[in-house]
Amino acid sequence: MYKARILFGILILGFLTSPLVYCQNYSGDEGGRTFEGRVTSVDTGRSVLVVNGISNITFPISLDTKISKGAYDIKLSDIAVGDYVKVGYIRGDNGPSKVLNVVVAYSKSGE
C-alpha cells in the first residue's frame, strides 16, 4: 500500500511538472522561443549567426537584436565561432523570423 502511494505521488508530480518543462521554450505573447548551442558561423556582412544545438539554425540579426555578454552589450562582430550562446527568437513559417536577443554564456577563449 505504501509503495502504491509513492508511485501515485510520483505520477501526479510528473503530470503537474510536464507542462512547465514543455513551456520553457516559450516566452511572451509573441510565441518567443529559445535555442542554445555553439556558434558555428558569424557573418557580419549579412548579419547572420549560425548556432549548432540539436541542429544548425541560421539566425538573422537586426539592429533591434540585443546582444550581450555578462552585464555588457556587445556587437555581432564580438561573437566568435565556438562561443556558447542562448538565442531568444520568434519563429516564422520557415524558421526564425526575428531574433530578440543573443546572450553569450561563455566564450571559446574562456573570457
Side-chain-facing half-sphere of 64: CA atoms under 13 Å? 7
Among 12-21, 44-53, 61-70, where is mean pLDDT lowest? 12-21
Q: With bands split at pLDDT 50, 70 and 90, how would you rate the model's confidence at 54?
A: confident
Q: Is the pLDDT of residue 94 over 70?
A: yes
Amino acid at 34: T
- Does residue 8 lie within any of the structural domains? no
Instruction: Flag whether 6 is in a domain.
Output: no
The answer to whether residue 14 sits within a structural domain is no
Cα–Cα distance for residue pair 109/78, rounded to 1 Å = 12
User: Letter for the amino acid at 72?
Assistant: Y
Residue 99 belongs to a domain with what CATH number? Answer: 2.40.50.320
Quote the domain boundaries for residue 84.
27-106
Q: Let me know if residue 99 belongs to a domain.
A: yes
In a domain, 102, yes or no: yes
The total number of structural domains that make up the chain: 1
pLDDT at residue 18 tops 70: no
Report the percentage of the chain scoring pLDDT > 70.
Answer: 69
Q: Has this prediction a pTM greater than 0.75?
A: no
